[in-house]
Structure 1
Amino acid sequence: MTAMTQKAQHKNAQTAATQNETKKPRKILPREERRQQLIEATISCIARDGLGSTTMQMVTKEAGLSLGIANLHFETKDNLLKETLRYVAEEYHSGQIAIMQGQETEDLTSRLTALLNFQLSQGVTQRQKMAVWFAYYGEAGARPVYQKIVSAWDRAAAKQLETLFEAIIEDGQYRNIDAADLAMGYSALIDGLHLALLVTPRELTKKQAKAIAKDFLQRAFPKHL
């Protein structure tokens, strides 16, 4: 072996050693953080490509993770989609239920105002989130498991809204108002406004949507809003 060859090999060995020393190990995230990363990537894919077109490969590419990691955490695409729906439903409904239960304030007027602000907030009316929400609703009829997840949260939220309206009716001594009917009508209005904001954003602004919902509540509870 020539001196030149030995010198070249020594240089290559030094370079490799330096690269090994400076190469950063892949960051290992906790299980829940990886799951959340995949769920958020799923939300992005569904909003962009639709529920039926979303694949595990698309999700892992969006998340910058391997298919093996996705399979480790969710095993199947169906499980991933169910957990994504559960996350979206829980995020929205748990937020409004906490407000209606008075976890932040017992004052009825404050709770009513906070509920309205939350339901038409930037976070809730984000186009990506609304697109995913309605994509699942569109599939609920054909997929009983989706309907089961959504219905459980819908019933819980509807019950809390009815209870809040009952308390306001009693507090304001309002007459000829049925809390259950009013709660159903208000929920339908909010759902309709969310859909309009998603489908026809140029015809309905968030400010207008909030004004419409506020007008509904003011007509029902003029002493509280």
Structure 2
Amino acid sequence: MGTVSLPKQDRSRATRQRLLEAAIACLAEYGWAGSTVAVVAERAGVSRGAAQHHFPTREDLFTAAVEYVAEERSAALRTLMPRGGPDRTWAVVTALVGLYTGPLFRAALQLWAAAAHEEQLRPRVTSLEARVGRESHRMAVELLGADEGRPGVRETVQGLLDMARGLGLANLLTDDSARRDRVVEQWARILDGVLR
């Protein structure tokens, strides 16, 4: 009895996904300088040639990886969110802050820092950040059930995302969870006041 092999297209898709996930893990752990295509390929368990077949340049690989993981996290967040209840705002704020305190944010931050010094990377990261920022804002509005037609609501939702990013930065060097929990509670109260 022979082994069942996946069709070529499925194998290619699986290889691509492994490369993207390995790229995020490497960026988060080793930073831009330590995250070469060879390091990512080894972590993903594929040849460097296979990696370059999917992503011809290092910039292609890492910008695609941040975009892919951001989309995956957004999709997962939508399925986890409660649709109502007294703790809905708190749950949404907690989940959004969680996006900025995990490996995705750490990896994205490495990419942003590299883009500040690498001309060929900067326009791609700027464009990616604008798309991810718009999607994060849209997702926050949807999850909170916010009416942006009301004065101050758009700015408050954007303030939530800016605050979440700041909490993510504070968490990079030390475990900031105790302070973060208090800030999340306060932002949930503020949002409830503005949104209701």
Contact 2:90 2:188 in 1 (8 A): no
**In 2: Cα distance, 1:106 partner to 1:65 partner:** 41
Q: Which runs of 4+ in 1 moved over 6 A?
A: none
Residue equivalent to 1:59: 40
Residue equivalent to 1:119: 96
Report how far residue 107 of structure 1 moved: 2.7
Number of residue-to-residue matches in the alignment? 188
Distance 1:182 1:120, change over 3 A: closer
Post-superposition Cα deviations, 1:140-181, rounded to whole Å, max 9, x if no partner, equal: 5551111111211211322443564644997xxxxxx61022
Answer yes or no: is 1:190 the counterpart of 2:167.
no
Larger RCO (alpha carbons 8 Å, 6+ apart) = 2
Answer yes or no: is 1:107 the counterpart of 2:84.
yes
Post-superposition Cα deviations, 1:9-56, rounded to whole Å, max 9, x if no partner, equal: xxxxxxxxxxxxxxx98x766222111111122122212221133211
Contact 1:189 1:213 in 2 (8 A): no
Q: Which has the larger radius of gyration?
A: 1
Distance 1:219 1:71, change over 3 A: closer
Distance 1:43 1:160, change over 3 A: closer
Residue equivalent to 2:110: 135
TM-score by length of 1: 0.67
Gaps of 5+ in 1: 1-23, 171-176
RMSD: 3.5
1:71 paired residue among 52, 59, 62 = 52
Residue equivalent to 1:216: 187
Report how far residue 76 of structure 1 moved: 2.6
Distance 1:212 1:50, change over 3 A: same
Answer yes or no: is 1:40 the counterpart of 2:14.
no
Gaps of 5+ in 2: none
Q: What is the percentage of aligned positions where both structures have the same residue? A: 22
